[in-house]
Amino acid sequence: MPGKLRALGGEDVIRILSGFGFQVAGQRGSHVKLRRLGPTGERQTLHIPLHREIRRGTLRAIYQQALQYIADDELRGHFYTE
């Protein structure tokens, strides 16, 4: 059973995902596009809102999208409390 979802802002999420190799690929308004190349050369892209605090549902959706590229056991501790 996962712990409680942490309160994170856009900068926090970008910092977390940067640790997994994602880099800022662009920004449009208050949304940042993060991108990295996967092991087979495919582009992996995530969009993050630059809000002071991201709403829980949005944060959960970002987490679920990131799970496409990052293993759950590596990512969970950054988004959820124990």
Give pLDDT tens digits for 53-65: 999 999 999 999 9
The per-residue pLDDT for range 29-53, each reduced to its tens digit, is 999 999 999 889 999 999 999 999 9
The answer on pLDDT for 1 being more than 80 is no
Residue 5 falls within a domain, yes or no?
no
What is the residue range of 39's domain? 11-77
Residues with Cβ < 8 Å from 22, sequence gap 6 or more?
A: 14, 34, 35, 36, 44, 46
β partners of residue 27: 32
Residue 35 falls within a domain, yes or no?
yes
Give the domain CATH number at 61.
3.30.920
Residue 40 falls within a domain, yes or no?
yes
Number of domains in the chain: 1
- Model pTM? 0.91
